[in-house]
Amino acid sequence: MAIRLGDEAPDFTAESTKGTINLHEYLGGSWGLLFSHPADFTPVCTTELGAFARRKAEFDRRGVKLIGLSVDPLDSHEKWIQDIEETQGAAPDYPIIADADHRVAELYDMIHPNELATLTVRTVFVIGPDKLVKLSLTYPASTGRSVDEILRVLDSLQLTADYSVSTPVEWHDGDDVIIGGAISDDEAKERFPKGFTTIKPYLRVTPQPNR
Ligand code: BEZ
């Protein structure tokens, strides 16, 4: 069955470019980003894994551990990493799971046969410190992901985990946020000392509270 938001991220132990890892132990109390790609030595995947490698510090700063995955074997990942470094300017310094028997891919429903018969599509799962799935995204093989968008959504997930707010369309870190509907105006005055603007009774905005 498909994994839904709020489900516990299924645990697994698997071989990776950083040795054998157990997902839940590896994450500990951190956020995690588990993402699959269709295949090693393919063009879009090479650019994606290179971009995650170049921008790993931005994930580190947010306390997010990266984990890649495809159904290629470990020796293929290890050879491909050299190409990624050569062509993209950085080698992935995060584990890439070698899921040749499709065990993890099936656990996470990463193979969509009507898109690719036996390969993983481009999935993204954000896992919270409580091991629950906070976000899932699925892209076809033909479309590379946006690291900017993934970082943007991580900023929203982490902010809204800590404060009773939500983030509007096109929100970026530093922009105003929306006050949760369950909070009364009196409570909002206490919780959001920078003040708030009532555009409609159901649409109240306040400066980002952790800034
Ligand atoms: C790519 O990364 O370019 C790719 C991988 C699998 C199928 C099609 C494209």
Nearest Cα residue to 84 out of 54, 50, 57, 55: 50
Q: Where would I find the beta strands (DSSP E) of the chain? A: 13-14, 21-22, 31-36, 64-70, 96-98, 122-127, 133-139, 165-166, 177-179, 197-200, 203-206
Cβ of 117 closer than 6 Å to ligand 1, yes or no, is no
Distances, alpha carbon 84 to alpha carbons 64, 115, 149, in Å: 22, 25, 22
CA of 116 from ligand 1 middle (Å) equals 10
DSSP 188: H
Q: What is the pLDDT of residue 12?
A: 98
| Residue 1 scores a pLDDT above 80 | no
pLDDT mean over 15-24: 98
Tell me, yes or no, if 45 is annotated catalytic: yes
Q: Which of 44, 45, 49, 71 is catalytic?
A: 45
CA of 82 from ligand 1 middle (Å) equals 18
Q: What is the pLDDT of residue 182?
A: 96
Ligand 1 atom closest to the CA of 43, numbered from 1: 3
- Atom 9 (ligand 1) nearest CA: 141
**pLDDT tens, residue by residue, 56-88:** 999 999 999 999 999 999 999 999 999 999 999
pLDDT mean over 44-55: 98
**pLDDT tens, residue by residue, 105-126:** 999 999 999 999 999 999 999 9
Q: Identify whether the C-beta of residue 64 lies closer than 8 Å to the C-beta of residue 33.
A: yes
Cβ of 49 closer than 6 Å to ligand 1, yes or no, is no
Cβ of 115 closer than 6 Å to ligand 1, yes or no, is no
Structure tokens belonging to residue 118: 């036996």
> Does the reported pTM lie above 0.95?
yes
Cβ of 28 closer than 6 Å to ligand 1, yes or no, is no
Cβ of 84 closer than 6 Å to ligand 1, yes or no, is no
Cβ of 127 closer than 6 Å to ligand 1, yes or no, is no
- Atom 1 (ligand 1) nearest CA: 44
Please provide the DSSP assignment of 118-130 as one string. Answer: SSB-EEEEEE-TT
Cβ of 50 closer than 6 Å to ligand 1, yes or no, is no
CA of 46 from ligand 1 middle (Å) equals 9
Q: What is the pLDDT of residue 79?
A: 98
Q: What is the pLDDT of residue 97?
A: 98
**pLDDT tens, residue by residue, 137-154:** 999 999 999 999 999 999
Which position has the token pair 């970082």? 151
Ligand 1 atom closest to the CA of 116, numbered from 1: 7
pLDDT mean over 126-132: 98
Domains and CATH numbers, the chain: 13-144 (3.40.30.10), 163-206 (3.30.1020.10)
